[in-house]
Structure formats: structure tokens, C-alpha cells
């Protein structure tokens, strides 16, 4: 796979529909670049990325955007929170106006992530860690079969990181979750680990990862 100056040696992956995939490696190894490629945000200049057997490189921008919406929930490394908008607006997919029942659902998700449940509150008033958890709620609310999480524990204290780890494992039991991680307690629980270094990838698969200890 090649993207500009970033080159990754031969890498062929078939990701299970329900799994936790960890992407690790030193800073600058290309973890974020690989995740953005897998999300369809950056088409590789060489190699192929297939979404449901469709080669992204052969599709127009409109088709790629549709496939990304239908297939991938992406948590970028930097916050995607709309600072001047309410929590409610931040959690709406593509501007859809939900029914009142959806508002109750959003409050339950916010409460589960230890966030304020006032949907009219401006997102910019939240702390950095709260905004990160708000981003995670937005991604988890997606119906996408693949979730791609770049540094999901950034800006989180250990208590909230532990909560997020449990939620990630829950999600991995019903869809494919791909995370970039450093030395995190979640690593041993990944069914596959992709380690990047010097333009090469080492892959380790585990048939039955151990349960997460609280």
C-alpha cells in the first residue's frame, strides 16, 4: 500500500465481521494514515481497499462518500465536535431530525458515557475528555458494520478510559472495531494486532482473546 510518502509493505487482510483489531506502532509509523485509508478517506496510490468487494480506487467521489456513510463509523485523532452546536446537533447523523424517542435514546447514551444529558447544551462548554467521549457516542450510535477509532483514549483519565474499553469490547461483539493503540490494557483482548514499523506490518491473530478484567 502506498499513499504519498507513506509506504507499507505487502499487507493482505480479511477482517472478521465481529472482532477487535488493534493497530500499534511507534509515533510516525503510519497508524493514522492506515486507518484513514481503511476508512476510505485517503485512496492509496498503489494497492487496493475493498468495501464489500468494491474497489474504492475505481469509484467516483460520490460513491465513495456513500460507501463510507453506510460502512464506516470513524473517530478521527482530532476532535470532530462542532463547538458552537448543541449536544443534540452533534449526535444527529447528516442533519436528520429525529423523533422525540430518539432524544431519550441520546440521553441514555450520554449518561452511559458520564456526560451531561442536557441536549441543548453547547458542545464547546465540555472539557476535552468530555468532548472525546461525545465523539465516541456519535460513532457508536452509527449503524455502520465497521468502526475505526484513532486513539480512542486520548484526553481520558483512567476511570473514563476503563469505561470506554468496556464499551469498545461490547461493540466488537456485534461488529468489526479497528483501534489504534499504544501500550493499552485493551491490547491483549484484540483478536488481531497489526504492528507497524519502518514501513512493514507484523500481524498477530488470537483465536479467543481473554475477557477484560475490571
Q: Which CATH number do you get for residue 9? A: 3.40.50.300
> Whole-prediction pTM value?
0.86
For the chain, how long is the longest CA-to-CA vector? 51
107 occurs within a structural domain: no
Residue 166 within a domain: yes
Among the residue ranges 4-13, 80-89, 183-192, the one predicted with the least confidence is: 4-13
Q: Is residue 42 part of a domain?
A: yes
Interatomic CA distance for residues 149 and 139, integer angstroms: 9
Number of domains in the chain: 1
Q: Which residue's C-alpha cell is 486513539?
A: 151
Pair 103, 91: CB distance under 8 Å: no
Asked if residue 40 is part of any domain, the answer here is: yes
Report yes or no: 206 and 190 within 8 Å, Cβ to Cβ: yes
Tell me whether residue 138 is exposed, middle or buried, using C-beta atoms within 10 angstroms of its C-beta: 0 to 12, 13 to 18, 19 or more.
buried
Over the stretch 164-188, which tens digit does the pLDDT of each residue have?
A: 999 999 999 999 999 999 878 898 8
pLDDT at 106 over 60: yes
For the chain, the first-to-last Cα distance in angstroms comes to: 38
Residues 36/75, Cβ–Cβ less than 8 Å: no
Overall residue count recorded for the chain in this entry: 214
Structural domain range at position 164: 2-81+139-205
Sign of the CA dihedral 107, 212, 18, 9?
positive
91 close to 138: Cβ distance less than 8 angstroms: yes
C-alpha cell of 158?
483512567
Cα–chain center distance at 213 = 22
Mean pLDDT of 41-70: 76
Amino acid at each position: 500500500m502506498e499513499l504519498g510518502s507513506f509506504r507499507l509493505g505487502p499487507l493482505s487482510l480479511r477482517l472478521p465481521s465481529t472482532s477487535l483489531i488493534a493497530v500499534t506502532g511507534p509515533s510516525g509509523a503510519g497508524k493514522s494514515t492506515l486507518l484513514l485509508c481503511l476508512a476510505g478517506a485517503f485512496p492509496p496510490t498503489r494497492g487496493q481497499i475493498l468495501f464489500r468487494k468494491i474497489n474504492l480506487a475505481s469509484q467516483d467521489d460520490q460513491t465513495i462518500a456513500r460507501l463510507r456513510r453506510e460502512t464506516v463509523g470513524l473517530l478521527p485523532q482530532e476532535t470532530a465536535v462542532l463547538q458552537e452546536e448543541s449536544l443534540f446537533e452533534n449526535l444527529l447523523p447528516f442533519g436528520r431530525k429525529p423523533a422525540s424517542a430518539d432524544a431519550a435514546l441520546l440521553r441514555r447514551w450520554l449518561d452511559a458515557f458520564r456526560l451531561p444529558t442536557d441536549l441543548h447544551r453547547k458542545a464547546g462548554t465540555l472539557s476535552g475528555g468530555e468532548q472525546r467521549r461525545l465523539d465516541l457516542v456519535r460513532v457508536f450510535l452509527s449503524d455502520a458494520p465497521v468502526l475505526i477509532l484513532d486513539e480512542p483514549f486520548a484526553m481520558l483519565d483512567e476511570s473514563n478510559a476503563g469505561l470506554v474499553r468496556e464499551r469498545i469490547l461490547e461493540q466488537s461483539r456485534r461488529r468489526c472495531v479497528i483501534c489504534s493503540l499504544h501500550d493499552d490494557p485493551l491490547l491483549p483482548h484484540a483478536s488481531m494486532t497489526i504492528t507497524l514499523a519502518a514501513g512493514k506490518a507484523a500481524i498477530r491473530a488470537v483465536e479467543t482473546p481473554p475477557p477484560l478484567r475490571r
